[in-house]
Amino acid sequence: MTGSATLESHRVDARPSRPRALRRGALIVGLAVALVALVLVSAGTGQLYVRPEEVLGALLRGLGIPVGPLPEHPQGYNALWTIRFPRVAMAVIIGAALAAAGLLMQAIFGNPLAEPGVVGVSSGAALGASAVIVFGWTFAGEWTIAFVAFATGLLATLIVYTMSRAGGRTEVVTLVLTGIAINAFTGAGLAFLTFLGDQQAREQIVFWQLGSLNGSRWQQVGIVLPLIVIGLVVAFAVTRSLDLLALGEKSARHLGVNVELLRIVVIVVTALLVGSAVAFAGIIAFVGLVVPHLMRMIIGPAHLPLLLTSVLGGAVLLLAADLVARTAVPMADLPIGMLTSIVGGPFFFWLLRRTRSKAGGWG
């Protein structure tokens, strides 16, 4: 009877009531509008100010649509397309990837505390990227950093998955402790690589640890974008299966879900998304924790709308954080990972307390 009630509850959520459907639609539209507005404002803000309508005109002209005014400054158009637009594009892409990765980890672990930065996946990917820098590996050309970051991120994800599973479920305490252990190990590895590397390599490793979008180029966008698009396409394809998995493993199997295959696919996709993001932006924590939870609180647990809103919300959050990083201190570029941690740290503490109180204590 309990299983039937749970299944019926899932069916009700799959076909949301009119107020919930309107709330979902309003949230998606609101996030899309906020993203467009932030793109125009962020691209035009800096030492060389460009008005939003001029940013839009330059963007459309660059895409072959002769509409809107061009920047009045003679170097404005080139500055936008050479410096500003690549950085904005990377913020949008990486923010979407990190939020989607966080949602997928929470779904597959069945745990609200799962997040690439918290459980050590981001630092694992950063360790691989730093090893490429120090040892000068070039076996895959421009893809070498992304490839190695993906491999080490995947390894970290598999370790977390294996260590935190017990009796067919994920233990909260084990998940957090496994993340602490992985972060400690990768921290030691990064320190060792810093010791081995030259001055330039040390500066780049510090870049990975702090997280930054400074220096983003179209070449990097061309490498990261196809990888993240593939990851997001697969993520959207498995949202129905994730809804069924939320009913419990036994119910999901009865409804035709290959649970183990689903887990493997999601783990690989998570590593792909996180590894691609870390490869060129370094460690940017808590985006995958904060955004999915906020979206879930507003629209409920159904994974298709939740993934869509999380992707948009992650892009908005990281683009806003990057704007603050570039403008908060004159003539300086703050580490974006520091800013997301300022928001995410207290949120994680609140979530940890909330989860503990719901579980009745962890003894």
The 10s digit of each residue's pLDDT in 301-324 is 899 999 999 999 999 999 999 999
The single-letter code of the amino acid at 130 is: S
* CA separation for the pair 232, 307 (Å, rounded): 9
CA distances from 170 to 63, 107, 216, 359 (A): 48, 11, 38, 13
Q: How far apart are CA 174 and CA 177, in angstroms?
A: 5
Q: Quick check: 13 pLDDT over 70?
A: no
Distance CA 264, CA 32 (A): 31
- Whether the per-residue pLDDT at 15 is higher than 60: the answer is no
Per the prediction, the chain carries an average pLDDT of 87
* Tens of pLDDT, residues 30-43: 999 999 999 999 99
DSSP label at residue 162: H
pTM: 0.86
Per-residue pLDDT at 353:
79
User: What phi and psi values does residue 327 have, to the nearest 5 degrees?
Assistant: -120, -15
Provide the CATH number for the domain formed by 86-359 in this structure: 1.10.3470.10
Say how many CA atoms lie within 13 Å of 355 toward its Cβ. 18
On the question of pLDDT at 9 being above 60, the answer is no
Q: Which residues of 57-87 are buried (b: 16+ CB within 10 A; e: fewer)?
A: bbbebeeeeeeeeebeeeebbebbbebbbbb
Question: pLDDT of 206-239, one tens digit each?
Answer: 877 888 898 899 999 999 999 999 999 999 999 9
- The per-residue pLDDT for range 240-249, each reduced to its tens digit, is 999 999 988 8
> Is the pLDDT reported for residue 1 higher than 60?
no
